[in-house]
Structure formats: C-alpha cells, structure tokens
Structure 1
C-alpha cells in the first residue's frame, strides 16, 4: 500500500502534465463562452492520456505515465484540465476588459 505522500505526489504529477496544461490553456483561451470549457477539458484529457500512453509504451520516462502498472488518474486529470482551461479563459476575459 502506498503512503499518502507518494499518492499525493503521483496526483500532482498528473495535474502538471505539460501536454494537459498546453492543450487546456489553449482551448480555454480560445473559448468565447464558459460552456466551451467542457470541450477544452475533453480535448486536453484525450491529448494528455494518449500522449502519456504512447510515451510510456516506448519506454521513455514521463511525468505522469499511463500504462498497465501505472494509474491513469482520469479524475485528477479532468479536474486539472478544468482548472487550467478556466484560468486561461478567465485571464483572457479580464484582459478583454
């Protein structure tokens, strides 16, 4: 059984996946309505999990690997994608006036 600090570290790594951040922030920035953040979350989640799975399958190290012996942490990634896309959406709305 994992200790709580190890589990928290794995969750943080999944939340700070660079592909997840870039895709979520891009789509959040481009969204013109808050409802479109759902699309941003789905796109970021899909891109991040597929990229992490491909990188892990090649045997390369990755910040948040996905595979048979690694958890996918979909709830953590989903919440993180919502946070990143909402932040980008909010920043763009504030800059627009």
Structure 2
C-alpha cells in the first residue's frame, strides 16, 4: 500500500508501532485483521476468534465492511487520552521541578 510505504520509507515520519487487532474483538461479526500504525503502543486485543458470518456472505458494501467498530474507536481514543494526560502531567512536573531549582 502506497500510504504505508511513504510512512515506512523514512520521509520524516517515525511511527514505531503497528497495533494489530481483529474487528471481532470489538463486537463485530467478522474477524477482520487490521493494523493501526501509531507512535503509541495501544495494546489492542488480538485474539483470533472465528467469524460469526462468512465475510463474502454479509451482503455489505466495501464501505460497510471497512467501518471501524465503535468499541474499537472508543478504546483507541481512551488510550490516547490517557497517555496524553500522563504526558501532560509528566511535562507539568518537569516544568515545576525546573522552576523550583532556580
């Protein structure tokens, strides 16, 4: 895929984590493997669970099959927000430490 080739080729992007997961780990009937490249290790669920429905028998359009499950989106955002708060706390603590040393 061209987009990933651009990221992987060192064009100024450093995206160290390929966060593998399967959609059916997040209440989706199909075990669709997906990787989310990120600067964070999202530690997503990656249990291989058999499909509830055959992929080619869903009758879904490409867009319907490509929709990211809401529970997966929620988990990604929760982890990013948690990491952001942790980073902000660490940054605030470092700033206070530098000011107290003056």
TM-score, length basis structure 2: 0.31
Higher helix share: 1
Q: Which has the higher contact order (CA 8 A, sep 6+)?
A: 1
